[in-house]
Structure 1
Amino acid sequence: MVNEKLMLRSDYVRSVVVALVAGLLWVLIVASSASWAGTQAGTEIAAVNRISIVAMAGIVGALLAAALRPTVIAVCERVEISVDEAALGTKVPVIVSGVVWGVVSVPASTPTSSPHAALVFLALVLPWIAWIDQRVQRIPTALAYLAASGTAAMILLTGVVHGTWGAVGRALLAGPTAGVVFFALAVLLRGGIGIGDARLTVSLAMVLGYVGWTALPAALVFSILTAFVGVIVARVLRAIRSEPARSHIALGPYLVLGTALALVAS
């Protein structure tokens, strides 16, 4: 029987290195951009500096996401997910990670509006998870645990840098709570919600919990709406192509998209 939890030492090392680099760069971005905003606010130089931060963040984010690709492929092969089937040669997750890194670095010009470090880490992992789930309707356990552990570590880093320990405590409570609720729903409903979705929810709920309790139900509503729209679009496209309709949908991408929309709305 395949052990989905198995990761080799090289996978752990690569993941830890990527997380450390992501955390360090987040600290540098927040510190440098806040300093520039305080000394050069409203000047042309400040605008150029902000653009430079966004561009560098996008490039580095894409490179770090690409650095995770060998671990993603190894994990998929270990749980018998075909690399060809999952289309892991695609550049879509890498591009998405770069774009998200650029976007989240925009409000980092002031300490009060800077995003927490968990966002830049999840931006490297979630595109891979969502892409795999969309292709094969399965979330590898190892990647879900990697997302959860990395998110918790980055939440703590945010607390150290900004001193927002109340938000950190709320995030660390929201993650496991949401995971237990979704796990119970997965067992009771026996379909629609998978165990992998419950594991993924832990990471997403921690990010939302840091923002506030109201972000959690907002993300759920957005996830349901985007899933509804996604199912309609998918069925229309399959009907046009004369392809058979799927009885199940991958919920992971919609949970991720709903979380992103809730964060934007917050």
Structure 2
Amino acid sequence: MLRSDYVRSVVVALAAGILWALIAASSASWASAEASTAAATVSRVAIVAIAVIVGAALAAALRPTVIAVCTRAEISVDEASLGTKVPVIVSGIVWGVVSAFASLPMSSPPAALVFLALVLPWIAWIDQRVQRIPTSLAYLAAGGTAAMLLLTGVVHGTWGAVGRALLAGPSAGLVFFALAVLLRGGIGLGDARLVVSLAMVLGYVGWTALPAALVFSTLAAFAGVVVVRVLRAIRSQPARSHIALGPYLVLGTALTLVAS
């Protein structure tokens, strides 16, 4: 990425971290006895609404970086449909969900979730369209996730979970890298890079979240293949021999985090 892309990414990450810190600070008051009052409820709804708007705005701010990365990676911008608003909308929704969960007692979503909510929708959308994951975006996701996990450790003091996360990410990435080399198909190197950031978030939750996410991803991929092939058969379109694994890895991770 160019210097301007790095600057934009850092600014977006800082904004995400600041808003997460504000939400984390507010969660203590939400969980208190006064949180049952009407004023607290209005405040909670307002924070969630603001999170949705800010999350969507920050995801939109990343679009120039995504377009630049795809252009340098020789990924057709037209084919990837980077003018779409789908990743922006998904980012806003996820930010709203994370802020809503933060208002619940005994709930403290890691800061990495708000950062990944800005990057992963773009990665999943591109992979679904062209079956490629830009290396720069995968590295951006992994680096931002690690930084946000450290921020979570500073704020909440959950250094044991942070250490587990930083160990789980590279370990899962190495396993997927080995599978990509051995299988020579089905799993790409881009998927292995993407798994690093996903496994770090899952590792923060616990070791059992990793196999659970794999199960959810497999089921989601199977369902996705069935739906896509049925739709292509109805439209008399040729069936693809390969599917993009990235979106299903992201979906499986999301379902695991919700279930946890």
TM-score by structure 2 length? 0.98
Gaps of 5+ in 1: 1-6
SS at match of 1:41: helix
Q: Which amino acid aligns with 2:244?
A: A
Task: Give the structure 2 partner of residue 35 of structure 1.
Answer: 29
Q: Which amino acid aligns with 1:56?
A: I
Task: Give the structure 2 partner of residue 74 of structure 1.
Answer: 68
Task: Give the structure 2 partner of residue 143 of structure 1.
Answer: 137
Identity value in percent: 85
Question: Among 217, 221, 228, which residue is 1:234 paired with?
Answer: 228
Question: Among 239, 242, 251, which residue is 2:245 paired with?
Answer: 251
Question: Among 170, 184, 192, which residue is 2:164 paired with?
Answer: 170
Instruction: For 2:15 and 2:106, locate their aligned partners in 1 and report how far apart those are by CA, in whole Å.
Output: 23
Please tell me whether the aligned partners of residues 5 and 65 of structure 2 are also in contact (alpha carbons under 8 angstroms): yes
Gaps of 5+ in 2: none
Count of residue correspondences:
260
Please tell me whether the aligned partners of residues 191 and 245 of structure 2 are also in contact (alpha carbons under 8 angstroms): yes
Asked if 1:14 is matched to 2:3, the reply is no
**CA shift digits 1:201-232 (9 cap, x unpaired):** 00000000000000000000000000000000
SS at match of 1:138: coil
**CA shift digits 1:114-171 (9 cap, x unpaired):** 2100000000000000000000000000000000000000000000000000000000
Deviation (angstroms), 1:44: 1.1
Please tell me whether the aligned partners of residues 29 and 35 of structure 2 are also in contact (alpha carbons under 8 angstroms): no
Please tell me whether the aligned partners of residues 30 and 104 of structure 2 are also in contact (alpha carbons under 8 angstroms): no
**CA shift digits 1:9-62 (9 cap, x unpaired):** 000000000001100110011112322432622111111111111100000000
Instruction: For 2:33 and 2:234, locate their aligned partners in 1 and report how far apart those are by CA, in whole Å.
Output: 57
Q: CA RMSD in A?
A: 0.9
TM-score by structure 1 length? 0.96
Aligned positions of 1:101-250 closer than 5 A: 101-109=95-103, 112-250=106-244
Please tell me whether the aligned partners of residues 34 and 110 of structure 1 are also in contact (alpha carbons under 8 angstroms): no
Instruction: For 2:160 and 2:106, locate their aligned partners in 1 and report how far apart those are by CA, in whole Å.
Output: 15
Task: Give the structure 2 partner of residue 4 of structure 1.
Answer: none
Instruction: For 2:222 and 2:30, locate their aligned partners in 1 and report how far apart those are by CA, in whole Å.
Output: 44
Q: Which amino acid aligns with 1:232?
A: V
SS at match of 1:52: helix
Q: Which amino acid aligns with 1:219?
A: A
